Amino acid sequence: MKQSLFENRHQADWQAFAEQLAALERGKPDRQQCQGFAAAYRRLCQQLALAQARGYSNHLVEQLQHLALRGHQQFYRHRSPLGAQLLGFLLAGFPRLVRAEWRCVLVASLVFFGSLLLMGALVYLFPALIYSLVDPAQVASMEQMYDPDARRLGRFGERHSGDDWLMFGFYIMNNIGIAFQTFASGLLLGLGSLFFLLFNGLMIGAVAGHLSQIGYGATFWSFVIGHGAFELTAIALAGGAGLKLGWALLAPGRLPRGEALRLAAGRSVRLIGGVIVLLVLAAFVEAYWSSMTFAEPTVKYAVGAALWLLVLSYLLLAGRGTHAPD
């Protein structure tokens, strides 16, 4: 892009940002002037990096550097407390970011949920297919975990309710490990993320199809439907974050690959921050609700449906009407 076109496209933004800075520097900004300052500051930093990478004139680069320096001083002078920032991210920033990265999230969701549903249907129709993915010993363990006569669902052997907190910690570590593996492998040009999405989808689908086929469907589905709203969604989002990294390496556009990866990583890491919160919630529900046998399956189905509706509404609706993240 020529410098003149770059300046014409962004000059109004720079002027508006300069006015925001002036109000902050006077110490009497109103609410409207403060709104969106952080997003405008990040955009300016990205534009400065582009101007430097493309070799634009020293005059333009120095102008943007001066604005960025003033913005840096005001950003760290007026930053919100950490708790408020985290709350704002969870209530609005994270779902906005998910919607902004809908393409990567959609591809990851289609691969993960599509393979899960397809494999589940195939194993249900052709029961022997389960042994092409899972060895007989693991199949026997799964049947034991979801036996309708078990005192606690989804666990090996008998455990006391006092062990729930141990299982809570185990679920957190296990789920975060899967999510991080799915995310970080995106650095392999996105192929690693696609592999782990497909692998996990096939494995979960195979187990679901097998247990449903042998008559354990009520115990299995009533177990997974509650925490699955958080856990399965988190795995798909982790895959989307990994695909974001892979796409930055495959198609960096006009940016050097290193710079494109750096920008993509900033957004992907924020996605993973939200994923971790979802996985903690999933572990809590799995340890303290899903494994319980006192509730009837219909009750668990109702709670699970409500949780799925809650998660989808949160990702689709929360944070609308505010500035989208950069």
Residue type at 161 in one-letter notation:
S
Q: Pick from 274, 262, 315: which is nearest to 176 by CA?
A: 274
In this prediction, residues 306-311 reach a mean pLDDT of 97
**Which residues, in sequence order, are CB contacts of 307 under 8 Å at separation 6+?**
225, 226, 229, 230, 285
Q: Is the same domain home to 153 and 72? A: no
101 and 197 within one domain: yes
Q: Please say whether the dihedral angle defined by the alpha carbons of residues 76, 81, 83 and 89, taken in this order, is positive or negative.
A: negative
In a domain, 85, yes or no: no
- Rounded CA separation 189/74 (Å): 38
Q: How many distinct structural domains can be found in the chain?
A: 2
- 3-class secondary structure, 112: helix
pLDDT for residue 153: 65
| Spatial distance between the Cα atoms of 301 and 293, rounded to a whole number of angstroms | 13
Q: Is the pLDDT of residue 324 over 50?
A: no
Last residue of a domain, one of 35, 59, 79: 79
pLDDT at 175 over 70: yes
In terms of domains, do 134 and 262 share one? yes
Q: Are 244 and 104 in contact (CB under 8 A)?
A: yes
Of the two residues 155 and 150, the one the predictor is more confident about is 150
pLDDT at 273 over 90: yes
- Judge contact between 146 and 224, C-beta under 8 A: no
User: Residue 69 — very low, low, confident or very high, per pLDDT cuts 50/70/90?
Assistant: confident
Q: pLDDT tens-digit profile of 3-27?
A: 888 888 888 888 888 888 888 777 6
The range of the structural domain enclosing residue 231 comes to 90-317
Q: What per-residue confidence (pLDDT) applies to 100?
A: 92
Residue 66's Cβ-count burial label (10 Å; 0-12, 13-18, 19+) is exposed
Per-residue CA distances from 162 to 166, 167, 287 (Å): 8, 10, 11
The residue assigned the tokens 């997003």 is: 39
Confidence of residue 196 (pLDDT cuts 50, 70, 90): very high
Do 160 and 307 belong together in one domain? Answer: yes
The model's pTM is 0.73
67-71, 149-153, 316-320, range with greatest mean pLDDT: 316-320
Percent of the chain exceeding pLDDT 70 equals 88
